[in-house]
Amino acid sequence: MLQKTESREDYSGGNSNNGELLRDIEELRKALYFHKPPPKITVSSDFLNILGMDCSMSSELLISPRERLLREFEKEALGSGNLFFDFDWKEEQPEIGSSVSPGSDSEDCLENSDLSLIIEAAEEEHNKESELLRRRKAKILQGLETEALMREWPRTFSYEIS
């Protein structure tokens, strides 16, 4: 419990002690941050910390989000050992007309067959979409031709009657 006889200076330490405390705090700050200014804590830096990104890396902030996502994907792919794509695929592809060596990995064949299945499915879907587009265009053209004929018929019949 505070007594009324104590003055405010007793709690604040007086002006001389305040200066010493400020100097001590400044020395501690310099020792902790090695003469670098302390990091500014803002909402954006807190958000980046939550996401696991370091806000002090300015070079990474200049990279586009797509490129950053690609780099993360590459790191995960290399870390897991399950490479979905090979960066040096042009160097490792056999010459056209050369046969594949019998000692090649079955994983390469599996990846190539998966890739060919994906390509075939994409081509099939593209063919379906282009066929639908052709049908739509044909129906539109047929409708326009019918409309044009309907306009011409009254003129044709009027000439025959007169």
Domain ranges of the chain: 15-80
Quote the mean pLDDT of the chain: 69
Query: Residue 137 — very low, low, confident or very high, per pLDDT cuts 50/70/90?
Result: very high
Task: For residue range 97-127, list pLDDT tens digits in order.
Answer: 545 555 555 566 667 778 888 999 999 999 9
* CA dihedral of residues 7, 10, 14, 16 (deg, nearest 10): 150
Q: Considering only residues 125 and 72, tell me which one the structure prediction assigns the higher pLDDT.
A: 125
- Pair of tokens at residue 150: 């309907």
- DSSP 8-state secondary structure symbol assigned to residue 40: P
Where does residue 74 rank: exposed (0-12), middle (13-18), buried (19+ CB within 10 A)?
middle
Give CA–CA dist 28/26, Å, rounded.
Answer: 5
Are 77 and 87 in contact, with CB atoms under 8 Å apart? Answer: no
Are 68 and 60 in contact, with CB atoms under 8 Å apart? Answer: yes
Average pLDDT, integer, range 35-42: 58
pLDDT of residue 122: 92
Task: For residue range 80-101, list pLDDT tens digits in order.
Answer: 765 555 545 444 455 555 455 5
Average pLDDT, integer, range 69-75: 78
Share of the chain above pLDDT 90, in %: 13
Instruction: Write down the pTM of the prediction.
Output: 0.28
pLDDT of residue 130: 92
